[in-house]
Amino acid sequence: MKNSPPTNDTFLKACRGEPVAFTPVWLMRQAGRYMPEYRAIREHKPILDMMKNPELAAEVTLQPVNAFDVDAAIIFADILTLLEAMGLDLEFIPGRGPVFHNPIRSQSDVNALKSSNASRDLAFTLEAIRISRDKLQNRIPLIGFSGAPFTLACYAVAGGGSKDFDDVRAWMFSNPTLWAELMDRLTDGVIDYLQAQIDAGAQAFQLFDSWAGCLSVRDYARFAAPWTRKFFAETQGRVPSIHFSANGGHLLEQIADMPVDVIGLDWRVDPANVMQRIGTDRVYQGNLDPARLLASDSATLEGAQEVLDAFAPAKGHIFNLGHGVVKTTPPERVNKLINEVHRLSARM
């Protein structure tokens, strides 16, 4: 069963640019704090504990699948556990977010990084994938994911979050050789992690380069793109791949030039403009402004129709938000959105 197509394989078909009867939908952060079912668990559990408990992670993964008619599930995990597996001491501090107590600042810090072995160090996520696949009973596909090397490097060097990682870019400019070494190590880690997720049953994956958008076009080409490209080249061909970067509209030509199946777009960019730049003969994912779901049903559905219309000329389209679901989003509106995308796109 593991390798047979899911009952609803619309998402996978769309990833491959094949014809579909309706536009498939999933939402970034579809399992999250906007859902009361999620909050009921999260209230009693630190987030890392939730992720490291495979049964619980699988339960959370299935919550939006049970609540809504999504066309794909995405494993409940965090991009930062890979850095923890590589030896960085991770703590989620309430009200402050993730903190690494031993950030990367020197050659010896890079040397001290462990080569992560996902089957050993991230077994909890791999097991959560197996349980989720089991619970999904092949009704819809399961998406795996990882942070991209650049975004992981941002957190590793900054020692946590930042407004726009000025200090990380400064460190990168000052230490280009060490930066390349760090990126090599992280890329190996990401490749191993995603391969292991695919082995465990992930039927597609998304690479989140959440912070690549803080680089200029030229610096992205030099300090990030070579490693993202290497990652896609090495993982190519097994399952469909998706790239997503928030605020990365200026980088899309370079991303489109990589061996990636689906190009994720944030809500800012105009689909028509993107297709003018990199063509209609691609599969795109996106890109409704998540703020519309905070506003009203009509703002949500009007926006959904605009997104569907805009991507109509593309070879393939997977409907998603242009960023994660905001935690104050009403779940009933998510439900309406998903049903409406199915209804509207089936008519098109």
Using CB under 8 A as the binding rule, whether residue 218 contacts its own copies is answered as yes
CB of 125 to its own copies, least distance (A): 27
Site for its own copies in 59-98 (CB under 8 A): none
- Our CB check for its own copies shows the closer of 171 and 205 to be 171
Size of the site for its own copies (CB under 8 A): 36
Q: Based on the residue annotation, tell me whether 282 is a catalytic residue of this protein.
A: no
Using CB under 8 A as the binding rule, whether residue 107 contacts its own copies is answered as no
Give the range of 127-135, 145-153, 167-175, 227-235 binding its own copies by CB under 8 A.
Answer: 167-175
Residue selected from 89, 167, 281, 332 as contacting its own copies according to rule CB under 8 A: 167
Using CB under 8 A as the binding rule, whether residue 296 contacts its own copies is answered as yes
- Our CB check for its own copies shows the closer of 143 and 314 to be 314
Using CB under 8 A as the binding rule, whether residue 177 contacts its own copies is answered as no
Amino acid identity for residue 63 in this structure: Q
Using CB under 8 A as the binding rule, whether residue 290 contacts its own copies is answered as yes
Q: Based on the residue annotation, tell me whether 78 is a catalytic residue of this protein.
A: yes
Q: Based on the residue annotation, tell me whether 29 is a catalytic residue of this protein.
A: yes
Using CB under 8 A as the binding rule, whether residue 173 contacts its own copies is answered as yes
Q: Based on the residue annotation, tell me whether 109 is a catalytic residue of this protein.
A: no
Q: Based on the residue annotation, tell me whether 42 is a catalytic residue of this protein.
A: yes
CB of 245 to its own copies, least distance (A): 12
Residue selected from 34, 145, 267, 319 as contacting its own copies according to rule CB under 8 A: 267
- CA 72 – CA 75 distance, rounded (Å): 10
Please list, in sequence order, all residues whose beta carbon lies within 8 angstroms of the beta carbon of residue 44, skipping any fewer than 6 positions away: none
> Mask: binding to its own copies, 126-165, rule CB under 8 A, as x and -?
----------------------------------------
Using CB under 8 A as the binding rule, whether residue 268 contacts its own copies is answered as yes
Query: 142, 2, 130: which is closest to 73 by C-alpha?
Result: 142
Give the range of 74-82, 93-101, 189-197, 269-277 binding its own copies by CB under 8 A.
Answer: 269-277
Q: How many residues does the chain have?
A: 348
- Our CB check for its own copies shows the closer of 135 and 222 to be 222
- Our CB check for its own copies shows the closer of 222 and 229 to be 222
Query: Which three-class secondary structure string do you get for the chain?
Result: CCCCCCCCCHHHHHHCCCCCCCCCECCCCCCCCCCHHHHHHHCCCCHHHHHHCHHHHHHHHHHHHHHCCCCCEECCCCCCHHHHHCCCCEEEECCCEEEECCCCCCHHHHHHCCCCCHHHHCHHHHHHHHHHHHHHCCCCCEEEEEECHHHHHHHHHHCECCCCCHHHHHHHHHCHHHHHHHHHHHHHHHHHHHHHHHHHCCCEEEEECCCHHHCCHHHHHHHCHHHHHHHHHHHCCCCCEEEECCCCHHHHHHHHCCCCCEEECCCCCCHHHHHHHHCCCCEEEEEECCCHHHHCHHHHHHHHHHHHHHHCCCCEEEEEECCCCCCCCCHHHHHHHHHHHHHHHHHC
Amino acid identity for residue 18 in this structure: E
Site for its own copies in 303-332 (CB under 8 A): 306, 322, 326, 328
- Interface with its own copies by CB under 8 A: which residues? 166-174, 213-219, 247, 249-250, 267-270, 273, 289-292, 294-296, 299, 306, 322, 326, 328
Catalytic residues: 29, 33, 42, 78, 155
